[in-house]
A and B are shown apart, each in its own frame.
Chain A
Amino acid sequence: MRTIEITFNSEGDSKIETLGFVGRTCRDASAFLEEAIGERTETLVKPEFYSQTITSHQQQQSN
């Protein structure tokens, strides 16, 4: 199950995390929320973000 979790702190700011996504699809999935809520101030990319790209490169190398 793909989930977007948003935590709104008591200062009113928020942290958006994507769960269960592989590769760059997570960025597209949460973009509508980032734009709707306000201004992005920081982005942390996790290793899973690159997993689709790595797989793709491995496939190309094996061909």
Chain B
Amino acid sequence: MSHVVQVKTRVKDVAALGLATQRLQLAEPTYGTANFFDGSATGWRVSLPGWRYDAVFDVESGKVDFDDYGGRWGERAELNRLIQAYGVEKAKLEARKKGYSTSERQLEDGSIRLSIQVGGTA
């Protein structure tokens, strides 16, 4: 290993977001305006399990808008699970574009490890 990079996920690919919803057996994202208790947001809407209002993804900026009222109107873990699934699907899409093979493994702590075989030696 020669370097380790920490990356904060930003949702900027609708196709990968769609794959993430499929993976979690959620309804496909739909484009539109979601109304919150106070205010609204326009973008790709995803209905999360147990959430009162949809989460809204702006794929131009990578920003996500939601109204969970500090967890009372939706568990943050559901949103995190979707973002985790997005990251996995986005990485798999990008790896396949380069012709690399991938394999994934669920870890005990809830993490998902994706291995991308680049091939050959350095």
Contact = CB atoms under 8 A, between A and B. Distances in A.
A20 to B, nearest CB: 6
Contacts of A48: 1-2
B5 A7 contact: no
Nearest to B100: A4
Interface of A: 1-23, 25-27, 29-30, 32-34, 36-46, 48-49, 51
B7 A14 contact: yes
Contacts of B87: 6, 8, 12, 14, 37-38
A20 B87 CA distance: 23
B110 A46 contact: no
B91 A22 contact: no
Contact of A36 (B79, B80, B90): B90
Contacts of A30: 3, 5
Contacts of A1: 117-121
Contact of A46 (B4, B8, B122): B4
Given A40-B7, A43-B4, A5 B90 contact: no
Interface of B: 1-10, 13, 62, 77, 79-84, 86-88, 90-91, 93-95, 98, 107, 109-122
A61 B80 CA distance: 53
Contacts of B107: 7
A45 B117 CA distance: 21
A46 B3 contact: yes
Given A11-B80, A12-B83, A2 B118 contact: yes
Contacts of A23: 2, 122
Contacts of B109: 9-10
A8 B116 CA distance: 14
